[in-house]
Structure 1
Amino acid sequence: MMLLLALSLPALAVAQEADKTVPKVSYVTLVPAFVGNFGNGPRMKFYKADLSLRVPNAEAEAKVKHHEPLIRNQLVMLFSQQTEESMSTPGAREALRAEALKQVQSVLAQEEGQPLVQDLLFNNLIVQ
């Protein structure tokens, strides 16, 4: 029994050390969902987007939540400038996601001095 305990202690120490080196990633979901119209032409087009932002730690999460109104404003402006083509195909949606990430990082870099957000994810994007 003592031998088993002695052998398990180094493994436990390695597991605890591994926990310290793995970064704790957080996701900030922007609630409520973004809903609005976009495009130009005779017929109105609408979108609904559920977004989450991936941040590296709890400190960054708090800062992102603090600047959420400014982030939301920037994203609403971006989405409202889109065309039907830029919201309909998977490749175009990926380009929109990349541009949205870039704009969020730009806002946070201006406000906090660093981008803070690692990725932007569309949990749901409905266009009609």
Structure 2
Amino acid sequence: MNAWILMVLALLLPTVVAAEEGKEGEPKVAYISLSPPFVGNYALDGSPKLHVYKADVALRVTGDAAAAAVKHHEPLIRNQLVALFAQQGVDNLSNVDAKEKLRQEALKQVQQVLEGEEGKPIVEDLLFNNLIVQ
């Protein structure tokens, strides 16, 4: 009897797995955190006051292939974002609207980098999990 049950389970198992894959066959949304966080100086306009930022950034992608492509190109993405953050002035990081514009510009630049490397933008959104400026 036990052998019969095992045989039936062995025959049904691929069907159950296929059904689960069908449900999960839709591409999954993933959030890729770029770590370590970005930390650096900005607004280097010759003033004696040092301006520092810390940004925790996450990228939203859909599908395992997109996540793998972002991970593969992470050094290039980080380089682009560091350059963008360093170009900011005090006014660009002083309020919510300015930070939203920075987020949109960062997304645009990440998408341009990936468009050049992969032929498509891949990243759907860029999120600041944390953005601290002093």
Whether these two folds match at TM > 0.5 is: yes
Instruction: State TM-score, norm by structure 1.
Output: 0.83
Q: What pairs with 1:73-112 in structure 2 (closer than 5 Å)?
A: 73-112=79-118
Alignment-derived partner of residue 6 in structure 1: none
Are 1:126 and 2:132 matched, yes or no? yes
Are 1:24 and 2:28 matched, yes or no? yes
Q: Which of structures 1 and 2 has the bigger CA Rg?
A: 2
Q: Which has the higher mean CA deviation after the structures are superposed, 67-76 or 35-44?
A: 35-44
Shift of residue 19, structure 1, vs aligned partner: 3.3
Shift of residue 90, structure 1, vs aligned partner: 0.2
Alignment-derived partner of residue 35 in structure 1: 39
Between the two proteins, the alignment pairs up a number of residues equal to 114
Q: Counterpart amino acid of 2:132?
A: I
- Percent sequence identity over matched residues? 60
Distance (whole Å) between structure 2 residues aligned to residue 47 and residue 17 of structure 1: 43
Alignment-derived partner of residue 4 in structure 1: none
Q: Counterpart amino acid of 2:108?
A: K
Distance (whole Å) between structure 1 residues aligned to residue 111 and residue 21 of structure 2: 31
Distance (whole Å) between structure 2 residues aligned to residue 63 and residue 31 of structure 1: 16
Instruction: State TM-score, norm by structure 2.
Output: 0.80
Distance (whole Å) between structure 2 residues aligned to residue 72 and residue 124 of structure 1: 16
Shift of residue 23, structure 1, vs aligned partner: 3.6
Are 1:71 and 2:77 matched, yes or no? yes
Distance (whole Å) between structure 1 residues aligned to residue 80 and residue 21 of structure 2: 40
> What CA RMSD, in Å, does the superposition of the two structures yield over aligned residues?
1.7
- Give unmatched runs, 5+ long, in structure 1: 1-14
Q: What pairs with 1:5-24 in structure 2 (closer than 5 Å)?
A: 19-20=23-24, 22-24=26-28
Q: Which runs of 4+ in 1 moved over 3 A?
A: 15-23
